[in-house]
A and B are shown apart, each in its own frame.
Chain A
Amino acid sequence: MTVFIVRRLIQSAIVLFAMSLIVFIGVYAIGNPVEIFLSGDADQAERERVIATLGLDRPLWEQYWLFIEGAARGDLGNSFVHNRPALQLIIERMPATMELALAAMALAIVFGIPLGMYAGFRPHSALGRGIMAGSILGFSLPTFWVGLMLIMIFAVELGWLPSTGRGQTANVFGIATSLATRDGLVHVLLPAFNLALFKLSLVIRLARAGVRENMLMDYVKFARAKGLSMRRVVFVHVLKNILIPIVTVLGLELGSVIAFSVVTETIFAWPGMGKLIIDSINHLDRPVIVAYLLVTVTLFIVINLVVDVLYSVLDPRVRLADVKG
């Protein structure tokens, strides 16, 4: 197990290094770093100060080292728009994005698994077919358009749910989250559902395929031959078997949910990282862009690592293979 984690850590470090290199080349070599780190109205003195701090007169590898050093210290420059450290801005916005992503994941699991399992057990029933048709549609619908339609229906026409903002937050373990207040939950519902739609379709498909495949297995018949109720066979034996691929896939998808929250946050004016990056791109607030990219890439690598470890904990077969290997 330890060997496995160490091996994955080394791999992650390599990917992180490669990504930092790409961001560095993108920002420093392709673009003009002075332009990137200076707002348009900076004067000559400031311009020279930036050139000196970035060490633009030095060789490229030294510049890269300075960039990495700065990143390691958490110093990625100040936002032009907010005039505060870019990294700090990102970190502040992170809880809002995370809670939105987690709420979306929760919705996808809570609705996706039962719907998918039903479609797996009754593939030819009207409801089973309906669920599958819905999931195909869920894959094709453009997220942002669905978001607009959700606002139109639930906020404008019916007036049931608020369309924008995060609502009231409360502190849980020192992190302000809207999942802890009623007002916050009401606000999170529409954006979370919007963000969940794609993953919901995915979970439905995975659960359906898993059920269909597993119900044909001998272990299901043996479990029934033991006199277990159908309920126990389905909700313990089959569910545990289909959960493993679903959890793995969803874990890997957490990163993509965070990336896609860019769209949802913009539509629902949700004050998270995604809305920040779009605003920053539109305002050419480049330090924030660089900080966002590095933070997101790191986040991705951490998520992939955690999922791999989690997967090995969940599936006893993988765990054993690793002890042997």
Chain B
Amino acid sequence: MLNAVNDVSFTVSAGEILGLVGESGSGKTVTGFSIMGLVDPPGRIAGGRILFKGRDLVGLPENEMRRLRGARIAMIFQDPMMTLNPVLRIETQMVEAVRAHADVSADEALARARNALGRVGIPSPDERLKAYPHQFSGGMRQRVAIATALINKPDLIIADEPTTALDVTIQGQILFEVQKLCCETGTALIWITHDLSVVASLADRVCVMYAGKIVEEGSVDAILDRPAHPYTHGLIGSVPSRNHKGTPLAQIPGVMPSMLDLPGGCSFRPRCARADRACETPPGVDEIGDGRRVRCVHPLVGAPA
């Protein structure tokens, strides 16, 4: 058995934007799918709790989970070219999202779809509703996906790298709009990304994941200014815009270990400059003030008690 994600714990409050940051393969996406209850077999949630408004989603009957999905918890995927069904009209795909949860007339559902498309900044929504996905550009498709996620006014949206596949200019627009929409509706947002600069401009709080575990958590300002975990420090150092011109870009040596072959103790140990004998036992989570938590024996700030 392989633990893709292990010992992950975080909270999001209404209206809050949480950035979930990590390299590819660190378990971000699996975390997102676990919350949605959409882990593909033979994968499964082996244990733990996912509390949504005080209700445990783990072990919830499929039918009740289905009623939450898309209604209270929505998800936006990474590749907008693949997420919309190529042979169904946008209209069909949005209306079914409404009618899966609310017993409303087709006209009412259509009105909501039109409204949702308007909110994500798609011009002439009536015309667009009749179109098929391939008639849209990547950015427009992602807006449709976001509109579909927003259509039932969910309490939580999980966005899995929704801007990675898009042009930089489109990325900026979409980030701005999503932030605005969450602000307006009080929707909580979990933004999964590998891009720290996105998190910096968007999130309230950040969780940094490494090898299936959260290694650091705290407010976005605190973490970006004073990272406590050496891995976070390395990540920040490797963002080009944060470095001065002319200085060589810092990078984290080595690659993330395979989940099949994790080193004992702290998983970051082989790549860490501060590692010593003490790191050979798995580090616990320490509170270091300001609501910050870090999983490290030798944190860069706030030495453990």
Which residues of A pack against B, CB within 8 Å?
217-219, 221-229, 232, 236-237, 240-241, 244, 315-317, 320
Contacts and interface: CB of A to CB of B under 8 A. Distances in A.
B82 interface: yes
Contact of A315 (B66, B74, B87, B101): B87
Interface string B61-99: 000001111110011010100111111100001001100
Contacts of B97: 226-228
Nearest to A225: B75
B96 A219 contact: no
B132 A219 contact: no
Contacts of B74: 225-226
A80 B82 CA distance: 63
Contacts of B85: 219, 223, 237, 240-241
Contact of A232 (B68, B77, B96): B96
A244 B86 CA distance: 12
Nearest to A316: B132
Given A224-B69, A317-B134, A229 B100 contact: yes
24 contacts: A218-B79, A218-B82, A219-B82, A219-B83, A221-B77, A222-B83, A222-B84, A223-B85, A225-B74, A225-B77, A226-B70, A226-B148, A227-B101, A229-B66, A229-B100, A232-B96, A232-B100, A236-B88, A236-B96, A240-B85, A240-B88, A317-B132, A317-B134, A320-B132
Contact of B66 (A217, A218, A227, A237): A227
A222 B87 contact: no
Interface of B: 36, 38, 66-71, 74-75, 77, 79, 82-88, 93, 96-97, 100-101, 132, 134-135, 145, 148, 152
A316 B130 CA distance: 12
B86 A320 contact: no
A241 B132 CA distance: 13
Contacts of B86: 219, 241, 316-317
A225 B33 CA distance: 9
B116 to A, nearest CB: 12
Given A217-B82, A218-B77, A227 B69 contact: yes
Nearest to A239: B87
Nearest to A317: B134
A225 B69 contact: yes
A113 to B, nearest CB: 16
Contacts, number: 77
Contact of B87 (A227, A316, A320): A316
Contact of A227 (B67, B83, B88, B93): B67
B70 A228 contact: yes
B84 to A, nearest CB: 6
A222 B96 contact: no
Nearest to B84: A219
Nearest to B65: A227
Nearest to A223: B85
A228 B87 contact: no
B129 to A, nearest CB: 14
Nearest to A221: B38
Nearest to A219: B85
A228 B100 contact: yes
A229 B74 CA distance: 15
A229 B145 CA distance: 18
B77 A228 contact: no
Given A226-B100, A227-B100, A240-B87, 4 more contacts: A219-B83, A221-B77, A225-B38, A241-B87
A197 B178 CA distance: 54
The 10 tightest CB contacts between A and B, nearest first, are A227-B70, A218-B82, A226-B70, A227-B69, A316-B132, A222-B83, A226-B97, A225-B75, A219-B85, A227-B100
A229 B100 CA distance: 8
B79 A227 contact: no
A257 B97 CA distance: 41
Nearest to B158: A225
Given A218-B79, A320-B132, A225 B36 contact: yes
